[in-house]
Chains A and B, each alone.
Chain A
Amino acid sequence: MPISLPPVSWGAMLPLLVVTATGLLVLILDPFTSPAHRGRLGILSLAGVAVAAIALLQRRGVSEIVFGGMLAADGFAWFFNLLFLLVAGLTLLISMPYVRRFGMDQGEYYALLLFSTLGMMIMASSLDLITIFLGLETLSISLYILAGFLRERLESNESAVKYLLLGAFASGFVLYGIALVYGATASTNLKRVAEVVASGRVTSPTLLIIGMGLLIIGFGFKVASVPFHMWMPDVYEGAPTSVTAFMIAGTKAAAFAAFLRILMTALPSLQPDWGRILWVLAVLTMTVGNVVAIAQSNIKRMLAYSSIAHAGYILVALVAANKLGSGSILFYLVAYSFMNLGAFAVVIALALQDRERVSIHDYAGLGLKYPFLGAAMALFMFSLAGIPPTGGFMGKFYIFSAAIQAKYIGLAIIGVLNSVISAYYYLRITVVMYMGQGEAEPAAGRLSPALGLAMLIAVLGTLQLGLFPSRFLELALRSVEALFG
């Protein structure tokens, strides 16, 4: 039997290809670049990301299924891929001064960053469990290396090893889940799975449920939901700060993209089952994340725990399982990326002065000394706490609207009370910055232009999403139509 190759739509693949090609180009050029000029590789990567974003923007509204149903270039993938490119772009901006300062200025850094972005894009574009897994591994393996990139620092090594071990463990769960779902439905294609489940031709419902459970556990690890979150604070604390920023924003978004696709496209008819499991996970994740974050005095660790709590909020929207809920996840992840990357840009800006400043006391007196840095950090903190008029508030507003629309009033109340708890530790940062005694004087220095630009984008993004969210919400709602159609 002759093997027929499916037609390849190059236009749909272009953004992915540009990112891949740029990554490879960086690797090739790396040996020929003198150490003094390695910054140019960062600029090259940035250019690649920009080109990919432009290519993507050309395809707005186009929906196409490629590689015989393995990948989709639909609205959902479009939105997420744009978000990943934004995250990658901002991460590159904040990385360039950071890697130079801490001696990680190697081509591999940029290349790996691009490859993990590629992995994220594949995950969000996948219509098949196999491709989701491929994307997940491309993403994860690049990140295992990036987490350990500060070779001489013990914490960075610890971070990489922990991440590798638990990441592999989680991948195992995902893979086993995929296998069982395949066993039950005879397909790995998300739409086929949905058809089989809906028509009741499942070979073994038990197998399917166990498979679903394993997938939830696997993705629970990846999005760091309680009780699968233990690895995360250590990994985020030990990894280079720029990589932490990338993981906190990008990895979470990618994992949720795939999670959302699987649940909403492949298993919508099992919503009563997974809805109940995720309800419990959401409550645990929000509450544990927030309560433990209160006790942290290391800012990276605090943001790590806070990101656990944020995963909990997103799970609330997932439980709601309606169109507004899915749209609000997209909106929330954009707002979340802006505020977290912005906050990490501030952390890095301080680190550049003389040493890494990650203890909360290092921020004493910062606010009045550096008005722009202080105001930006305060804005990100208020946004993370969900106080209007910021993107963080609007994101939460949509999420809780979705929950209430789906009649999960109790969940919404637990969620809003959690954001009050979270306000306490976010406020603590502003207290230290503005109201503390400024004994620990951070040395004065000029803000690097790349960092300044990243911060400015994050500030404007956070405000834009908070004050004029209409267009973004509309875009997010239109993008999730692909899931339901």
Chain B
Amino acid sequence: MRKWSVIGVVYVVALILLWVYTGRVGMENRGFIFAGYGITWGALLWYAFRLESRERTTARAVESFEVAGAGD
């Protein structure tokens, strides 16, 4: 889980850098461009994170059945 905290931090830092960059280069409509790329990365990272959480939870559940079923 710590891995995702790190990823989260990197993501936020990247967002900040992107915002600063678009400003320094003088991009017009920087809000929309920033939002677009931010949402893209955010959505994909979030989905990967959720998938991993679900994997973990389900794996644990399957294990608990194994332990409980032992000796049946």
A and B together in one complex: no
